[in-house]
């Protein structure tokens, strides 16, 4: 007789343990392992690595790769250019996407807008919500610039019911808000538990592949990491988008961290208005909007966000530290990278930040993940220390090594073209960056030369 079986799964990495453990043996996270009870009835397929097929497989079609049709992927534009861009050109039918982000960031708003645009393009869209009633969704829809009246809505948390409704109304796109609020009959655990989230995602993925319906799922991510998590879903879905941004600022950054049908790390920028989200076609201008070129401690660099160059401002403030150990606060960059740059400036360029509190931040909640931004961070630090603004028309581009050497970065042409478009005239960086049209290269081979160039 079939009996209820349990596995113990880590909420962080999804690793399965035969019994409960205080610490995950795979990823080392504490208190992340939770019991997951499998339903007593023998299901069609178990989730996870231990899954066994209950029935022998049917006949399979194996082909040589050369015989596989090379038709171009069909895509449905979602009608919001910034969103389509992050997706790699639109939604692929039969694909499943995850839109993750903190509560209140605007996930439901964005997907409802996309749904409304899809309906406008002649598609059938079902918006199923386990978070809000149809009335609440209507209230949101009434605020939007788009006409969402043709979007079909369903307030439901039972996944099998949602899928049946999707088939019944013959929808092209299913929007499910959110994966943490639905449950499937296959598992006994509560909605939102790791097991439910994973099993629901697997079920949705199979549904998308079988029916050709595009599925977009909302996943909540909390500040401290995640609530039964989008991270564990990332390897299941075709496309994983993350939505970020300071809730207090009205712009939002959307980024693909995984995309089976396009490139990753593409950045889409939106501003949250009274009437929904509006794409920002020119993020560099927005990010530099608040910049005051006559204030010290500011430097501009060009980052490659996916395939697109984006200009951002780095701000630094060095101030006498009142007591004890000076503070080092880095927002938008790795504190360790800041420590390295401070040490290099001290030892290789004779600029000491001892006894000074140092604060560094990046405009618009953007994160500096590439070393090419080093030179801008160093320039902002030196500018704050010497209380001399960096030149208003100067862009800083370069990686700094431990010996203080300035190294070239990749994608220079596109970065400099973007800077030129926004009125920058000089590019401080490695001499090897020379040659871009419109910008004068101010060659620096060592941070020492940066100090001289800024003092000039
Ligand atoms: P929401 O889409 O509900 O966020 P999420 O689904 O990620 O939790 O958006 C929540 C916030 O957005 C809420 O504070 C209200 C605000 N908002 C606007 O500013 N303008 C609008 O047009 C709408 C619909 C919401
Ligand atoms: Mg929501």
For residues 248 and 103, membership in a common domain is answered with: yes
State the distance from the centre of ligand 1 to the C-alpha of 109, rounded, in angstroms: 6
State the distance from the centre of ligand 1 to the C-alpha of 104, rounded, in angstroms: 6
For residue 311, tell me if it sits in a domain.
yes
For residues 134 and 207, membership in a common domain is answered with: yes
Q: What does each of the 456 residues of the chain score in pLDDT, given as a tens digit? A: 445 677 888 877 778 888 888 888 888 888 878 887 766 554 444 444 444 445 567 778 888 888 877 666 789 999 899 999 999 889 999 999 999 988 889 999 999 999 999 999 999 999 999 999 999 999 999 999 999 999 999 999 999 999 999 999 999 999 999 898 999 988 887 777 788 888 999 999 999 999 999 999 999 887 655 555 666 788 899 999 988 887 677 788 898 889 998 888 888 999 999 999 999 988 888 888 888 878 999 999 999 988 889 999 999 999 998 888 899 999 999 999 999 999 999 999 999 999 999 999 998 778 899 999 999 999 999 999 999 999 999 999 999 999 999 999 998 988 998 999 888 999 999 988 877 777 898 999 999 999 999 987
Q: Which residue blocks in 88-171 are alpha helix, DSSP H?
A: 107-120, 134-143, 159-168
For residues 332 and 385, membership in a common domain is answered with: yes
State the distance from the centre of ligand 1 to the C-alpha of 102, rounded, in angstroms: 11
For residue 50, tell me if it sits in a domain.
no
For residues 260 and 343, membership in a common domain is answered with: no
Counting ligand 1 atoms within 8 A of each CB, the residue from 104, 145, 220 with the most, and so the one to mutate, is: 104
For residue 47, tell me if it sits in a domain.
no
Domain count, the chain: 3
d(CA 322, CA 183) in angstroms, rounded, equals 54
Neighbours of 94 (CB within 10 A): 17
Residues with CB under 6 A from ligand 1: 101, 103-109, 140, 143-144, 272, 274-276
Last residue of a domain, one of 251, 281, 311: 281
For residues 229 and 354, membership in a common domain is answered with: no
Distances (CA, A) of 81 to 65, 148, 243, 268: 34, 18, 16, 9
For residue 45, tell me if it sits in a domain.
no
Report the nearest atom of ligand 1 relative to the CA of 105. 7
Which residues share a beta bridge with 23? 30
For residue 57, tell me if it sits in a domain.
no
For residues 35 and 150, membership in a common domain is answered with: no
Q: Which of 174, 175, 171, 193 minimizes the C-alpha distance to 184?
A: 193
d(CA 160, CA 185) in angstroms, rounded, equals 8
For residues 163 and 194, membership in a common domain is answered with: yes
Q: Are strands 214-220 and 96-101 parallel, antiparallel or unpaired?
A: parallel
Structural domain containing residue 14 = 1-40
For residues 18 and 78, membership in a common domain is answered with: no
For residues 262 and 354, membership in a common domain is answered with: no
For residue 184, tell me if it sits in a domain.
yes
For residues 276 and 294, membership in a common domain is answered with: no
Nearest CA to ligand 1 atom 13: 104
State the distance from the centre of ligand 2 to the C-alpha of 159, rounded, in angstroms: 17
pTM of the model: 0.79
For residues 331 and 192, membership in a common domain is answered with: no
């Amino acid at each position: 007789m079939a009996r209820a079986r349990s596995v113990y799964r880590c909420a962080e990495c999804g690793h399965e343990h035969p019994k409960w453990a205080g610490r995950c043996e795979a990823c080392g996270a504490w208190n992340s392992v939770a019991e997951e009870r499998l339903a007593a009835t023998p299901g069609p397929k178990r989730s996870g690595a231990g899954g066994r097929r209950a029935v022998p497989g049917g006949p399979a079609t194996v082909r040589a790769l050369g015989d596989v049709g090379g038709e171009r992927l069909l895509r449905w534009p979602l009608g919001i250019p910034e969103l389509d861009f992050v997706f790699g050109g639109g939604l692929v039918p039969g694909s499943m996407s995850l839109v993750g982000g903190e509560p209140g960031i605007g996930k439901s708003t964005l997907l409802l807008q996309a749904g409304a645009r899809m309906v406008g393009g002649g598609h059938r869209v079902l918006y199923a919500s386990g978070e809000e009633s149809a009335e609440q969704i209507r209230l949101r829809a009434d605020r939007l610039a788009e006409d969402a009246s043709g979007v079909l809505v369903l307030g439901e948390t039972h996944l099998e019911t949602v899928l049946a409704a999707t088939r019944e109304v013959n929808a092209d796109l299913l929007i499910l808000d959110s994966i943490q609020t639905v449950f499937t009959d296959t598992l006994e655990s509560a909605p939102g538990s790791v097991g439910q989230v994973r099993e629901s995602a697997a079920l949705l993925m199979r549904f998308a592949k079988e029916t050709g319906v595009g599925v977009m799922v909302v996943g909540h991510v909390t500040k401290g990491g995640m609530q039964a998590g989008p991270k564990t879903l990332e390897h299941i879905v075709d496309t994983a988008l993350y939505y970020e941004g300071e809730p207090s600022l009205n712009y939002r950054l959307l980024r693909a961290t995984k995309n089976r049908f396009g490139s990753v790390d593409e950045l889409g920028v939106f501003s949250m208005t009274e009437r929904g989200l509006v794409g920002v076609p020119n993020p560099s201008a927005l990010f530099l909007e608040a910049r005051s070129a006559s204030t010290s401690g500011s430097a501009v660099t060009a980052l490659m966000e996916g395939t697109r160059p984006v200009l951002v401002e780095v701000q630094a403030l060095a101030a006498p530290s009142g007591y004890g150990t000076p503070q080092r606060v880095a927002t938008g960059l790795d504190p360790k990278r800041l420590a390295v740059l401070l040490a290099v400036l001290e030892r290789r360029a004779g600029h000491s930040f001892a006894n000074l509190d140092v604060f560094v931040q990046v405009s618009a909640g953007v994160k500096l993940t590439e070393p090419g931004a080093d030179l801008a961070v160093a320039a902002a630090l030196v500018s704050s220390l010497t209380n001399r603004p960096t030149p208003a028309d100067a862009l800083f581009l370069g990686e700094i090594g431990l010996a203080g050497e300035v190294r070239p970065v990749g994608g220079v042409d596109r970065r400099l073209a973007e800077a030129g478009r926004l009125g920058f005239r000089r590019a401080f960086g490695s001499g090897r960056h020379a040659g871009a049209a419109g910008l004068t290269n101010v060659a620096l081979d060592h941070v020492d030369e940066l100090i001289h160039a800024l003092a000039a």
